[in-house]
């Protein structure tokens, strides 16, 4: 599925739809360059889950948990992990195979420990289409 947006508000709204449609146990990965809109989309997803508290990037904590929505929301940013073994230490599998929605930024860095089935979300710019243009691609990976 491809969604084109032309403002942060539209990206937020698309995230909100994703959050509304999310099911417990799903895993989303999120790929895109710095400043492309990953946090904007994540804030929308949280809103769609019914989470009203502020969402910030979990840059120094690897994972940020939110428990005030209709299911738990686990927001990972694995950019700063040293090696995948570190993910075992924080109990990665308990999140991924748990009853919440797991969202992983920079998931390509931990490819070998990703579950067999997840949804990959990629956000890209195209300056020819304008400074605020974003193309958001959602792709199911590893469907049985």
Binding site for Mg ion (CB under 5 A): 38-39, 57
Task: Write down the least CB distance from residue 143 to Mg ion, Å.
Answer: 28
Q: 24 vs 56, which CB is nearer to Mg ion? A: 56
Q: 84 or 122, CB closer to ligand ADP?
A: 122
Contacts of 70 (CB under 8 A, 6+ apart): 49, 50
**How many chain residues are in contact with ligand ADP, going by CB under 6 A?**
16
Binding mask 25-64 for ligand ADP (x = CB under 6 A): -------x-xxxxxxx------------------------
**C-alpha 134: how far from chain center:** 16
Listing DSSP states for 48-89 in one string gives HTT--S-----TTTSEEEE-SSSS-EEEEE-TT-SSTHHHHH
Q: Which is nearer to Mg ion, 36 or 110 (CB)?
A: 36
């Amino acid at each position: 599925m491809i969604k084109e947006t032309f403002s942060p508000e539209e990206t937020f709204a698309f995230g909100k739809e994703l959050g509304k449609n999310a099911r417990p146990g799903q895993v989303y990965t999120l790929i895109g360059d710095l400043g492309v809109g990953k946090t904007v989309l994540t804030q929308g997803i949280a809103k769609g889950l019914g989470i009203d508290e502020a969402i910030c990037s979990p840059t120094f904590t690897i994972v940020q948990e939110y428990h005030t929505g209709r299911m738990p929301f686990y927001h990972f940013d694995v950019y700063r992990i040293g090696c995948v073994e570190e993910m075992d230490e924080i109990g990665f599998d308990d999140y991924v195979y748990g009853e919440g929605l797991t969202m992983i930024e920079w998931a390509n860095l931990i490819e070998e420990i990703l579950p067999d089935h997840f949804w990959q979300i990629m956000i890209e710019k195209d300056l020819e289409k304008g400074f605020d243009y974003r193309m958001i691609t959602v792709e199911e990976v590893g469907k049985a």
